[in-house]
Amino acid sequence: MDGVETLQQEALGAVSAAFTTAELRELELKYLGKSGLISGLMREIGKLSAEERPAFGQKVNAARATVQAALDERVEALKGGELDARFGAERIDITLPSRPWRSGLQHILDQTTDRVKACLCGLGFEFVEGPELEQFAYNFDALNYPPDHPAMDEQDTFYVDAPGLSDKSDTSDLSDKGPPDRLVLRTQCTAIQGRTFEKRQPPLRIFTVGRTFRNEAVDRTHGHTFHQVDAFMVDEGVSMAHLKGTLGAFVRAMFGDEVKVRFRPDFFPFVEPGVDYAISSPKLFGGRWVELGGAGLVHPKILQNYGIDSEKYTGFAFGLGLERIPMMATGVDDLRHFLENDLRFLEQFR
Ligand code: FA5
């Protein structure tokens, strides 16, 4: 009889100490399940005398009922509490302001490159790319530079000492052409001309946009690293008129319909005649003429060097600094901003 009492007390204590319905389910099994501690007491009944049995049976049944009632009550109480706790924890405050959402943006030079490509591809030009680490021959010799031209000077050109890359002595077909070619960081994207003429015949309409490097004093309009657009067209009967028409369409696409182009004579070894060109628009720089780049007709000697009949074919070429486009269009007056990756500057071009 004492055993029943003790178990009942133990079970009631455990029930009131339980804090989850899961714990209560375990307690129900432990005390009231088929082979639970309280239900199991019934098996003891056989050991008792006939007189003792009824009282014992009643006592066990009463203990079961008491514990069951305590369990049920506690389950109800906890269920309510658990739900409240869950609702509390999962509550959504719909009045809370949302978190700020920061999106990236395409770099302004990338945006400009896309506009250049859209315009020139629209005019039938094909986009090609050349290496930034360029052979001296494509950067200078192929473009009709005389051996003593100042641009080749160490002052202007970054020469790159890369033995593994520039050593061509193992290439037998080049062995009789003098020393292995030197590598330079290309100073102009016009270097794509020789690479193209070597493989392809006119009619050609080609352009590139890419990084260029010059070993010169850096200031607001000159960087050691900048970008150029370079384009050329070779076909029968191509003249300065085609150059002016193409450049006109190009600058109108970049700066608006009111912009005008002006040519002035200039010298580049790879064109004859050569010009520099400037643009002006009532909306830009108070209508002043601002220089944009160089251009001209492809030098006949270059065409001849690549076996192109210069009596039949003529071509034009033009080049310009890519940074000049957003500089002129938006009034940014320092080229260095474009390569410094200062988000305060770049975010303006969203
Ligand atoms: C050339 O580089 C010629 N290859 C352009 C050309 C192409 C002429 C085809 C004829 C036919 P130039 O050195 O002037 O030319 O450079 C062209 C443009 O690149 C300049 O007008 C300027 O916009 C830009 N540029 C040149 N040097 C720098 C520099 N250090 N920093 C930023 N932009 C520069």
Q: pTM for the complete prediction?
A: 0.72
Quickly state the pLDDT bin for 164 (edges 50, 70, 90).
low
Reduce the DSSP state of residue 81 to 3 states and report it. helix
Of residues 311 and 91, more confidence is placed in 311
pLDDT at 182: 86
Q: Quote the mean pLDDT of the chain.
A: 89
Quickly state the pLDDT bin for 180 (edges 50, 70, 90).
low
Contact 157 CB / ligand 1 (< 6 Å): no
Question: In sequence order, which residues have a C-beta less than 8 Å from that of residue 198 and are 6 or more positions away?
Answer: 306
Quickly state the pLDDT bin for 177 (edges 50, 70, 90).
very low
For ligand 1, mutation pick of 320, 323, 336 (most atoms within 8 Å of CB): 320
Reported as a single tens digit per residue, the pLDDT across 31-85 is: 988 888 888 888 888 888 888 888 888 988 888 999 899 899 888 888 888 888 8
CB 318 within 8 A of CB 291: no
For the chain, the helix, strand and coil percentages under 3-state DSSP, each to the nearest 5: 45, 20, 35
In whole angstroms, how large is the CA radius of gyration of the chain? Answer: 43
Q: How far lies 219's CA from each of 83, 101, 223, 330, 333, in Å?
A: 70, 37, 7, 19, 11
- Check residue 268 and give left, alpha or beta (phi > 0: left; psi -120 to 50: alpha): beta
Helices and strands: H and E segment counts in the chain: 12, 10
- Tell which atom from ligand 1 comes closest to the C-alpha of 223: 31
Whether 172 has a pLDDT exceeding 60, the answer reads: no
Contact 219 CB / ligand 1 (< 6 Å): no
Q: Which range has the worst mean pLDDT, 147-156, 275-284, 306-315?
A: 147-156
Contact 279 CB / ligand 1 (< 6 Å): no
